[in-house]
Structure 1
């Protein structure tokens, strides 16, 4: 089983009102979570990205976190206070250039001794793009083609030095990038940084099968996970890849208790803290596309149909068919007799593993054994101590089951993940 830790703070996962919640900016918070993950022998620490403060109805979304350091800078600092933990940064391929970004990741990979990872994301969002020189609008159909060429170009740069340390000129002539010159850094101890991808669409799954080393999945049940796992793994063969060349790791929460009832009670309270009445209404507005401030969050869902208004919630607009989502949520609400807030909690959150440490260890192990996942990215609801209990109480049980390592057997992130070092293509 592979385990990773996500430092939350981009959405409403974190319960900021909790007295044990710390800063999402101070380095001590990042260091605490990283040291805890390494103590637990995790594969990597993962940082998300937010390039612009999100808005709702034309104003900064006041229930969202404001203030987020640049990820690679934080990870360079964490490289100095960790020894084995992988260091993964989310960086948008739409608002960067291949040479500059390849150099930054190669630097992190060298400073950390081969522990860097890049979560490749794309954006067609002109709202975010206003923060950048280009104005940032990229047609949605161009997102993955540009990202694929961006990644391929970065790999050409990482491969431009010979294995014995001799630099060679590079030249890339493509649709999106036309660059030539000499790269400043030799190959790192793991060859290339590990590549992570999180898209769940058809294009995203194909991109992951062709180019990624790790997929951050979003499935909410064992059966959904098995379907996604089988679908993505079967795509690998067409690219000459083996099933083990790509690790599928859903993002999950874990809530523990001394009894099952205590854990369920804690989980319900955490979900309610994550989804306040105001958050529930604003979440619903992202789907319905209209102002719902007059609705009672403890009352029934709107009986009106959604309208398309992408300006309502900049940076938070939900993808997909909003009418279909609304119908699904109405059916769920009717079936279980749920209010607006209860429906958002039930339908909108990530999967939680809830129970005693023994029960959670057993369920995590089952998901891996039944090929619903290769491991998990744990998303704690508290910063910086939200991972401590899992490492202290669940990791030893996973080790007793033979489901998780008892020591690091290598020094690079690729060795933790069981991934081959990429050959030099030049």
Structure 2
């Protein structure tokens, strides 16, 4: 298709550096295991991403280390430095790239969060963003001496109140330097002036109808899991309709699904590299851990290249209490469904786990991947990508050196930053609350 035949022929792609907690990197490539906590590693990643004109760095967060069978998970990265502390350091060694932190409304005090996030926004010259998340399980709550599961509706009601308080504090410091007391925040005073972008850019990642509506009312970016083309296009259309119903322009939100990009001089080389990476990161231990999470006990003696265990899981129900997120809380039902799938397709345990964890990734030559991404962004299916590096700290080198020029040649990627703030570089309007206040 010619560019002019698309719904958005002039659209530009945004890249964001994304760092999940799972075993998403080739550990053997790291000189030391503490490279994931070392500032020099983060500095190299951030500066490489900025050289490649990435819009943001985005970090996920966990309020408690994940466990497996009663022990700290031993096959993945389970923690990282405090995001805002790390971003305050990275702001000093970068100039334009945005810094988006995942901060939890369930277990953070809004007055403290508003001050810490606004501090990074001011110190970085207006480059901070907030990924607004909630937490529902008592396992995490125990870390805050709060225990008890938080219902879905209650979480979003609390998130609305939390966000309203934070934004009151951000708006309470006027441009002339005067401050207004924020009564909704227990009579707190704003303690940090606004940055050049007014307030941090708001992101959200909820997939439920409540989460999508929350994003339509408040968010300026949304992190999506939809990257199969038709599903991505459907999700984007749904979000744009929700934006209009919320009284906002349909282009008021940037959609970022997560993915990985593997490049090669030829298609065959790229596929070989992707296969090598998959085999290196999906170790026997990691494959077993997926099945053990459902069966509820150690399967060290069970061959991963054989069938699933013949016996049933040892527990009838399972919660998210240990950070397990892939069992739908119904081990017996999950085990039965997995057995049926494995038998129908003749899959070993390893093959089944790989099948269940297949994701949409972009694998090919720089030219081929650039063409595919041009199709996505010009069709309106995505606005950007949360790009997971294959290694730390050199995981973005190939993308910056080979893919970015190909994207620029197709006119779908910037050749220079548009401004100095994250809001400018994402092409966003003033914050939603500022526009509402001006009406």
Question: Normalization by structure 1: what TM-score?
Answer: 0.91
Contact persistence 1:38–1:84 (CA under 8 A): yes
Contact persistence 2:30–2:392 (CA under 8 A): no
Counterpart of 1:65 in structure 2 is 77
Counterpart of 1:13 in structure 2 is 24
How far apart are 1:260 and its partner, in Å? 0.9
Q: Deviations over 1:143-195 (max 9, x none)?
A: 222112211211111111223332111111xxxxx522311122221111011
Counterpart of 2:430 in structure 1 is 421
How far apart are 1:317 and its partner, in Å? 3.1
Counterpart of 2:139 in structure 1 is 127
How far apart are 1:327 and its partner, in Å? 6.5
Secondary structure at the counterpart of residue 393 of structure 1: helix
Indicate how the Cα distance of structure 1 residues 120 and 328 shifts in structure 2: closer, same or farther if over 3 A, else same. Answer: farther
How far apart are 1:97 and its partner, in Å? 0.6
Secondary structure at the counterpart of residue 95 of structure 2: coil
Indicate how the Cα distance of structure 1 residues 201 and 394 shifts in structure 2: closer, same or farther if over 3 A, else same. Answer: same
The correspondence of residues 342-353 of structure 1 with structure 2, limited to 5 A, is: 342-353=351-362
Contact persistence 1:290–1:312 (CA under 8 A): no
Indicate how the Cα distance of structure 1 residues 140 and 302 shifts in structure 2: closer, same or farther if over 3 A, else same. Answer: farther
How far apart are 1:276 and its partner, in Å? 1.2
How far apart are 1:33 and its partner, in Å? 0.6
Find the aligned partners of 1:21 and 1:210 in 2 and give their Cα distance: 44
Find the aligned partners of 1:378 and 1:97 in 2 and give their Cα distance: 30
The correspondence of residues 260-275 of structure 1 with structure 2, limited to 5 A, is: 260-275=267-282
Q: Find 1:368's aligned residue among 360, 367, 377.
A: 377
Contact persistence 2:122–2:193 (CA under 8 A): no
Indicate how the Cα distance of structure 1 residues 369 and 333 shifts in structure 2: closer, same or farther if over 3 A, else same. Answer: farther
How far apart are 1:305 and its partner, in Å? 6.5
Secondary structure at the counterpart of residue 259 of structure 2: strand
How far apart are 1:19 and its partner, in Å? 4.8
Counterpart of 1:152 in structure 2 is 164
State the aligned residue count. Answer: 420
Indicate how the Cα distance of structure 1 residues 223 and 128 shifts in structure 2: closer, same or farther if over 3 A, else same. Answer: same
Contact persistence 1:56–1:312 (CA under 8 A): no
Counterpart of 1:393 in structure 2 is 402
Counterpart of 2:114 in structure 1 is 102
Secondary structure at the counterpart of residue 251 of structure 2: helix
Secondary structure at the counterpart of residue 186 of structure 2: strand
1:188 aligns with 2:209: no
The correspondence of residues 287-326 of structure 1 with structure 2, limited to 5 A, is: 287-289=294-296, 292-302=299-309, 308-310=316-318, 314-318=322-326, 320=328, 322=330
1:359 aligns with 2:368: yes
Indicate how the Cα distance of structure 1 residues 71 and 85 shifts in structure 2: closer, same or farther if over 3 A, else same. Answer: same
Higher mean Cα deviation, 379-388 or 289-298?
Answer: 289-298
Q: Give the alignment's Cα RMSD to 1 decimal.
A: 2.4
Higher mean Cα deviation, 254-263 or 305-314?
Answer: 305-314
Q: Deviations over 1:194-213 (max 9, x none)?
A: 11111222222222222111
Indicate how the Cα distance of structure 1 residues 367 and 325 shifts in structure 2: closer, same or farther if over 3 A, else same. Answer: farther
Secondary structure at the counterpart of residue 248 of structure 1: strand
Find the aligned partners of 1:214 and 1:100 in 2 and give their Cα distance: 23
Secondary structure at the counterpart of residue 386 of structure 1: coil
Gaps of 5+ in 2: 1-12
Gaps of 5+ in 1: 173-177
Q: Deviations over 1:260-291 (max 9, x none)?
A: 11111111121122211221121123345565
How far apart are 1:406 and its partner, in Å? 0.4
